[in-house]
Amino acid sequence: MMDTGLLPVLSTEAAPSSPGAPLLVVEKLTKTFPRRQSLRSLIRGEPRKRVHALSDVDLTIHRGETLGIVGESGCGKSTLARCLVRLYRTDSGRIAYAGLDVGSLKGADLRRFNRRVQMVFQDPYGSLNPRMTVRATLAEALSVHRMRPPREIEGRINELMDLVHLPRGAARRRPHEFSGGQRQRIGIARALALEPDCLVADELVSALDVSVQAQMVNLLLELQQRLQLTVLFIAHDLRLVRHLSHRVAVMYLGRVVELAETEALFTRPRHPYTQALLKAAPELDPRLRSTSDAVRGELPSPVNPPPGCPFHTRCPDAIALCMTVRPELKPLLDGRLAACHIAAAEDGLAAL
């Protein structure tokens, strides 16, 4: 079945079909979560504290690419994923899907957008309804969105099972009969049932063993090639992100601090946080051992992010400027984006 039921605005646009064109554009995205307030601070009339999960995030995802997002817990990468598929409403900023403002979508339009941008979840044990067989899960997706006429649904379920390399007969089973990796395949099949353009994979393989991770990586590469999928690959495992991504964004404390082509980022990281992250990731080569800590200190509280550069409290190179003025995410000489005063000065783009 050809897809003609695109968003009305989209169907007239030619741009989204060409590879490399921006598919999702995120501008100044900010998301905070209220903290539970103690009675004492309520009585004192103190303002409610908020966790700053995302602050002014700018990001462009091109059609057909894999954009990797790395960062440690609390950096906002999962919040970003959930904002992109509209699980969360954003505080401010804009997400545009092929030029369309995602934040303002409602009803049928929102459903059509959800068809286009799908998500696969981290927890293989929580993301499937334990009472539904795989067939019921897939059939529901196919019939709710009228992806296939009723008599073709059975055949399509078989196709989807083939696509994720699960035996067709397994469709009559329920989630608890599958291993973690197999459940993630079911999650992918469910997402693919809607024939999306973009797949948001939030820590897709983090809960899996190494050998199963490799199976999933191969599946993802294969599917992307077959279906021309755009993938947002969110993970904390740098090795996997490096393997899968065309470009990588590094997040720290709710902000993108560096964004570059994968090779450039990994061979010559420019932001001190990226450098620390790469140094901390354990290399597989026992000869490359170091005895010193990759970076000192811990993540500052996202309730009171530090002024200036968010990384200055741990940065080995921080100067006075870093403590007061927040560096913007700006292009360096080689075209990559970095939010660092020192890196900009090194490239002669700013004076210290």
For residues 298 and 351, which CB has a smaller minimum distance to another protein in the complex? 298
Smallest distance from another protein to CB 281, Å: 5
Binds another protein (CB under 8 A): choice among 6, 10, 194, 227: 194
**What's the CA gap between 341 and 349, in Å, rounded?**
9
Give the separation between CA 132 and CA 119, rounded to whole angstroms.
Answer: 19
Binding mask 209-248 for another protein (x = CB under 8 A): xxxxxxx-xxx-xx---x---------x-xxx-xxx-x--
Number of amino acids touching another protein (CB under 8 A): 90
Shortest Cβ distance from residue 261 to another protein (Å)?
Answer: 11
Sheet bearing 198-202, strands edge to edge: 117-120, 198-202, 230-234, 66-70, 247-252, 255-261, 337-338, 330-331
CB of 65 to another protein, least distance (A): 11
258 versus 344: smaller Cβ distance to another protein: 258
C-alpha distances in angstroms, 326 versus 40, 102, 257, 305, 322? 33, 28, 11, 11, 7
d(CA 112, CA 100) in angstroms, rounded, equals 12
Closest by CA position to 197, among listed 236, 231, 152, 226: 231
Closest CA to 84 of 35, 34, 120: 120
According to CB under 8 A, which residues from 137 to 166 bind another protein?
Answer: 140-141, 144-145, 162, 165-166
Of 110 and 349, the one with the shorter C-beta distance to another protein is 110
Is position 282 an interface residue for another protein (rule: CB under 8 A)? yes
Residues 70-129 that bind another protein (CB under 8 A): 72-73, 82, 85-87, 110-112, 114-115, 118-119, 121-123, 125-129
Instruction: Give the residue ranges of DSSP H helices in the chain.
Output: 8-11, 39-43, 77-84, 107-116, 134-144, 153-163, 180-192, 210-227, 238-244, 262-267, 272-280, 320-324, 341-346
24 or 277: CB nearest another protein: 277
- Neighbouring CB atoms inside 10 A of 232's CB total 27
The tokens describing 21, both together, are 């064109």
Beta bridge partners of 54: 31
For another protein, the binding residue among 101, 154, 263, 317 (CB under 8 A) is 263
- The strand order across the sheet containing 100-101 reads 50-62, 22-34, 92-97, 100-101
Cα separations in angstroms, 189 against 68, 141, 179, 276: 21, 10, 15, 37
Cβ 33 to another protein shortest distance, Å = 14
| Number of neighbouring beta carbons within 10 Å of residue 226 | 9
Q: Which of 92, 179, 228, 324 binds another protein (CB under 8 A)?
A: 179
Candidate segments 34-42, 92-100, 168-176, 328-336, binder of another protein by CB under 8 A: 168-176
* Closer residue to another protein in complex, CB, 182/230: 182
280 belongs to the binding site for another protein (CB under 8 A): yes
- In angstroms, give the least distance from the CB of 308 to another protein: 20
Q: Which of residues 287-316 bind another protein (CB under 8 A)?
A: 287, 289, 291-295, 298-299
DSSP-derived letter for residue 104 is G
The secondary structure element, H or E, covering residue 34 is strand 22-34
Q: Is 166 or 309 the residue whose CB approaches another protein more closely? A: 166
8 touching another protein, by CB under 8 A: no
Could you say which residues in the range 35-74 bind another protein, by CB under 8 A?
66, 72-73
Select 46 or 263, whichever has its Cβ closest to another protein: 263
User: Counting contacts by CB under 8 A, is residue 262 touching another protein?
Assistant: yes
- C-beta of 96 vs 295, nearer to another protein: 295
